[in-house]
Amino acid sequence: MTTGDRDKLFTPFETAGLRLRNRFVMAPMTRNFAPDGIPSDGVASYYARRAAADVGLIVTEGIGVDHPAALGRESMGGGASPVLHGDAALTRWRDIVTGVHAAGGLIVPQLWHQGVIRVPGTGYHPQAPSARPSGIWGPTDKAMVPPDYLAAVRDPSTPLTDSEIGDIIAAFARSAANARAVGFDGIALHGAHGYLIDSFLWGHTNMRDDRWGGDAAARALFAAEVVRAVRAATAPDFPIIFRFSQWKLQDYDARSAQTPDELAAMLAPIADGGVDIFDASTRLFSTPAFEGSDMGLAGWIKRLTGKPVIAVGGVGLSKDLQSSFAQPTVMTDNLALVADRIAQGEFDLIAVGRALLMDPLWVRKMRDGGAPDPFRLEAYATLD
């Protein structure tokens, strides 16, 4: 690894029609600063500060799609997550997008439906029934969630009907159209971590015997139809990013795909639906995805789909997300490893979450040799 290789992370890069000033993406992070679904005044400056400090692409926090059961209280705590429908919310998002663009950045919204993770009876529409592919939350023996949350979600509910599934797909499409209308630069779909789209992909939460369930390829139908609907509601050249993970809130060691062949079968219909970029969400970006290879999940996704890929997990910090809440954590510079993986063609972009939460100037400091602000847990509760 040479200094020149590391420096390439800070040079312009173009993919899927997005002209980025570097390889750094701000990862989506739940903030809960949106009372009644409308981002607070501080959200605009929060994103603009990162854009002004040279972040190449910003992916917003999860934004609830236009469906009554999209948002509620989840395992990580309270409500106040934003939406992307209604005049007040759309006006605020238009202002946020304008601010990011004025700072020289690009921004896409992460469209989100909590699905099985939502606590029944909570959210902006508490009366809305749960949205679960098979009416179950999933296995509970490995869940790293609070006991009171688990008690609230463990009871089974009625599986989604075919008509209800169609309504949710239409909700994603409406929200995507709204995103394009207010000026966002593309769409990011949250298809990971046990939330609704991912709960269709995972065999432990999707036990359906109709067209929405079955083997790996069949379980991907819902995700593929969401992508197709978003594509139809926006434009042929409007970038679509799809976040995929193996781990779930129900089980950090879970795998929707047990082998590379199964992963290929699952991702093929999603890619064919119109995805431009995959976002491979892992707790540590360098963790091998399958036995017999050192390659991470991002590398396998790129090899199997041929699409550009964003890697994420553990960049700039000494501990992964879960460990950082309980163990001493410090800021660190592991960009040499990132640059090496990119040089090998394993992935194309690197997403940074907590390091940018701690320090809005992190990308610039990493480029110029500055010392980043220290890790501090209280940053999770602010919009600095």
* Closest of 207, 229, 227 to residue 218, by C-alpha: 207
Task: Check: CB of residue 240 under 8 Å from CB of residue 221.
Answer: no
Distances (CA, A) of 108 to 42, 51, 92, 93, 240: 18, 12, 15, 11, 9
**Sign of CA pseudo-dihedral 30, 34, 37, 39:** negative
**pLDDT band at residue 119 under the 50/70/90 scheme:** very high
Provide the pLDDT confidence category of residue 189 given band limits of 50, 70 and 90. Answer: very high
The catalytic position among 46, 47, 149, 195 is 195
The tokens describing 26, both together, are 């701000």
Contacts of 27 (CB under 8 A, 6+ apart): 59, 312, 351, 352, 353, 356
- pLDDT-derived band at 77, boundaries 50, 70, 90: low
Q: Which residues contact 72 (CB under 8 A, 6 or more apart)?
A: 79, 114, 118, 119, 120, 121, 122, 123, 126
Residue 324 · residue 314 · CB < 8 Å:
no
Rounded to whole angstroms, the Cα distance separating 95 from 105 reads 14
Is 195 assigned a catalytic role? Answer: yes
Return the CATH number at 323. Answer: 3.20.20.70
Strands (E) in the chain, as ranges, are 13-15, 18-20, 24-26, 57-64, 107-112, 187-193, 240-248, 277-281, 309-312, 349-352
| C-alpha torsion sign, points 302, 304, 307, 313 | negative
Amino acid 355: pLDDT: 95
Question: Which residues form the domain of 307?
Answer: 3-381
Q: Report the pLDDT value the prediction gives residue 4, as an integer from 0 to 100.
A: 54
Q: Averaged over 85-103, what is the pLDDT?
A: 98
For residue 184, pLDDT over 90 is answered with: yes
Give percent above pLDDT 90 in the chain: 89
pLDDT classification of 79: cutoffs 50, 70, 90: low
The chain-wide mean pLDDT, for the chain, equals 95
pLDDT band at 318; cut points 50, 70, 90 = confident
| The residue type at 177 | A
Neighbours of 158 (CB within 10 A): 11
For the cut 80, the answer to whether the pLDDT of residue 179 exceeds it is: yes
Q: What is the pTM of this model?
A: 0.97
Categorize the per-residue pLDDT at 199 as very low, low, confident or very high, splitting at 50, 70 and 90. Answer: very high
Distance of CA 307 to the CA centre of its chain: 17
Instruction: Name the phi and psi angles at 203, rounded to 5.
Output: -65, -20
Q: Which residues contact residue 35 at a Cβ distance below 8 angstroms, ignoring those fewer than 6 apart? A: 80
Residue whose token pair is 């394009």: 180
Three-state DSSP class for 119?
coil
Distance CA 225, CA 206 (A): 16
Q: Tokens 């509760």 label which residue?
A: 381
* Amino acid at site 105: G
pLDDT (tens digit, 9 = 90+) per residue, 240-274? 999 999 999 999 999 999 999 999 999 999 999 99
pLDDT value, residue 100: 98
What is the percent of the chain with per-residue pLDDT over 70, rounded to a whole number?
97
What the block records as the tokens of 213 is: 């369930």
What was the pLDDT predicted at 2?
Answer: 47
Q: Assess whether pLDDT exceeds 90 at residue 369.
A: yes
Per-residue pLDDT at 327? 75
Mean pLDDT in residue range 123-147: 94
What is the per-residue pLDDT for 16? Answer: 94
Structural domains counted in the chain: 1
Q: pLDDT grade, residue 74 (50/70/90)?
A: confident
Q: How many CB atoms lie within 10 A of CB 224?
A: 22
- Residue 113 confidence (pLDDT): 98
Lowest mean pLDDT: which of 198-207, 312-321, 364-373?
Answer: 312-321
Examine the pLDDT at 1 and tell me if it is beyond 60.
no
Find the mean pLDDT for residues 316-320. 83
Q: What is the mean pLDDT of residues 306-318?
A: 95
